[in-house]
């Protein structure tokens, strides 16, 4: 198990662990989703991570045996450490930005749902009002036709009554019989 470790794979693992450890409270699920996406993008599987841990565990990095070696390793580690921290900072800022955008989007969706609900209520109220107005129009038309019919009958009856009361000379119909 002392095979050579792929530096890229080790770098990905360190980035993932750094994200998990540097994560702020309340953002753990978002960080884990980002980690899953990153691992998928870099083709890192759970088995590969397990193998890295197994490979590192029995042979942890040892301190340099000589001072010259320590200085060169320290400068390399410092450069890598600075680069890793910058990358972690960038990823953390990106993660915070995405979280902010997600919250903004959720708030906008809630606002749009509220607006949709209000619009649906207004539509229902308008439909009810329109239905009542149509009902009134048909009732008005019925009342108008009924009033016209009653008025016509009263007019005819009044005319007949007036003719029967007044003495109008009736023509002699006997002339027509001969």
- Mean pLDDT across the stretch 29-49? 73
Closest CA to 34 of 85, 99, 84, 86: 99
Residue keyed to tokens 């397990």 = 50
- Check pLDDT > 50 for residue 68: no
70: its two tokens:
């320590």
The verdict on residue 69 lying in a domain is: yes
Number of domains into which the chain is organized:
1
Whether the predicted model's global pTM rises above the 0.85 cut: no
Out of 1-5, 26-30, 101-105, 136-140, which region has the weakest mean confidence (pLDDT)?
Answer: 1-5
Distance, in Å, from the CA atom of 120 to the CA atom of 36, rounded to the nearest integer, reads: 40
The verdict on residue 147 lying in a domain is: no
Distance, in Å, from the CA atom of 172 to the CA atom of 92, rounded to the nearest integer, reads: 119
Domain extent, residue 65, equals 7-129
pLDDT (0 to 100) of residue 48:
74
97-155: pLDDT as tens digits = 999 999 999 999 999 999 999 999 999 999 999 988 887 777 888 889 999 999 999 99
The verdict on residue 51 lying in a domain is: yes
58: its two tokens:
């029995």
Element (H, E) at 50: helix 46-56
């Amino acid at each position: 198990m002392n095979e050579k470790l792929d530096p890229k794979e080790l770098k990905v693992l360190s980035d993932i662990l750094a994200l998990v450890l540097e994560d702020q409270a309340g953002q753990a699920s978002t960080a884990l989703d980002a980690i899953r996406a990153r691992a998928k993008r870099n083709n890192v599987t759970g088995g590969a991570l397990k193998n890295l841990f197994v490979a590192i565990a029995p042979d942890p990095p040892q301190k340099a045996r000589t001072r010259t070696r320590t200085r060169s390793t320290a400068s390399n580690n410092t450069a890598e450490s600075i680069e890793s921290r910058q990358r972690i900072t960038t990823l953390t800022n990106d993660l915070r930005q995405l979280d902010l955008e997600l919250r903004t989007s959720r708030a906008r969706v809630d606002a749009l749902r509220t607006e949709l609900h209000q619009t649906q209520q207004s539509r229902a109220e308008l439909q009810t009002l329109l239905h009542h107005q149509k009902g009134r129009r048909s009732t008005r038309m019925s009342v108008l036709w009924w009033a016209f019919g009653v008025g016509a009958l009263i007019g005819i009856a009044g005319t007949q009554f007036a003719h029967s009361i007044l003495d109008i000379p009736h023509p002699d119909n006997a002339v027509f019989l001969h």
